[in-house]
Amino acid sequence: MIGRISLLNMHILTGLGAVTALFLAFPLAAQSSNSGPETSAPLVKQGRPVIAIPSPRQQLHPILRTTIAPEKRGDLSTCNARDEASLNFVAETCWPVLQAYQDLIRLQQASKTAIAAHKSGSSDAEDLISRAIAIAVKSAERNGAGRWPMQDEIAQGTYRASIAIFKEIGDHDAALAAYDGLIRVQARSLMNGGAARRGYIYKNKTEYLLELGRRDEALANFTAATALADREPIDMISNVEHAEIIAYDAIIAKDEDRALDAINMFMEKTKRHSSYKDLVYFPLQRLRLYIMAGRKDHDGVLAQLQAFDGPRHRNMCRDGVGLSHFPQLISPTHSDPRIAAELVTMGCSAEYIAKAPKGPPVLTGAKPLPRR
């Protein structure tokens, strides 16, 4: 199955907007743009036709029963709406959005069925996956370069469903290409929450690349996400999490130079985006302190301590719940009198430091750092 639909030779065609070459490797017959039932799109597999398999019986989604009279399909007065809460209303009154929404619902249903069949080893899994991909092809072709805001919103769902299918069958390049299509569609979306959603798409792609062991590609993806900060506002939370997974992966791989480079580059590019730098950046500052202390970089540790200026950070050892683990991060440098004095200004008494466990702390919800 995977070999027959491999997308290893995909390339991105210019001028197609968000419709990527992700789907162009499939048989042309599967790229039908008609609006007939999804089971009508034939596939050819090793020279023989594949019998279209109807969807398993399930409750019909109300929007699939919706239609717009032919004489009213030219009325586009509601098509420019950008409020997600209005999606059903717009779909009932705007023909292009209705078609896109129906395509997405069919794809989501087909994808769920195909993935479940593949996981269970069902004998019809291959045909169900082929059918789901055919629906994805049609949906992306018809809606991927959407004219209306909600078409872009719906197209994102098409790419997400495609990612799930390709991950399930192990076609990693196809899944990554779908991530790229999702990023392009989301980047031009006019709906709310764009910066945060795009930030998490980049982050999710990096996590996937790291799972595959493709560390250089993950770093390139992170760099591309961070570069957005040069010209537009970005979502700090998703991007800090993104930087953290890149740095953590590098630390585990014993590539601390890469971790520091990623942290420093990110913080330099994004420093104008946050009014609460200490709190926002602390996950990265934590990793940077861990590396510098492990290297016995006393000057670097001291400079980082002195850079903290938020009230929460100037009282780290008094915060019995949140950051009381802090002295453990820099335990290799406690003997430096300058650092000891700076810790006192942060509420860390000599007695407190003496009682603090040695080595990196294990934080709730955080991955453990390696023991030094």
pLDDT tens-digit readout, 15-63: 223 333 443 333 222 333 333 333 333 334 444 444 454 555 556 888 8
DSSP 53: P
Residues 271-298, buried b or exposed e (16+ Cβ, 10 A)?
eeeeeebbebbbbbbbbbbbbbbbeebb
**pLDDT tens track for 338-349:** 998 888 888 787
Residue-range domains of the chain with CATH: 1-192 (no CATH), 195-274 (1.25.40)
Reading the block at residue 57, the tokens are 């019986």
Contacts of 113 (CB under 8 A, 6+ apart): 55, 56, 128, 132
Provide the mean pLDDT of the chain.
Answer: 78
Of 39-48, 141-150, 157-166, minimum mean pLDDT range = 39-48
pLDDT at 10: 32
Q: What pLDDT score does 61 carry?
A: 85
- pLDDT at position 2 is 39
Q: What is the pLDDT of residue 185?
A: 86
In angstroms, rounded to a whole number, what is the distance separating the alpha carbons of residues 54 and 135?
12
Q: Residue 361: which pLDDT band, with cuts at 50, 70 and 90?
A: low
User: Can you read off the two tokens belonging to residue 119?
Assistant: 């996981």
pLDDT of residue 35: 36
Mean predicted confidence (pLDDT) in 77-86: 82
Write down the pTM of the prediction: 0.78
CA distance 258 to 346: 30
Q: What is the pLDDT of residues 294-340, one digit of tens each?
A: 999 999 999 988 887 665 556 667 544 444 466 778 888 988 999 98
> How far apart are the C-alpha atoms of 1 and 117, rounded to whole Å?
13
pLDDT at position 318: 59
Structure tokens belonging to residue 343: 């810790």
- The predicted structure's pLDDT at residue 190: 61
Half-sphere exposure in the Cβ direction for 16 (13 Å, CA): 17
Return the structure tokens found at 284: 């990265």
Residue-level pLDDT at 192: 61
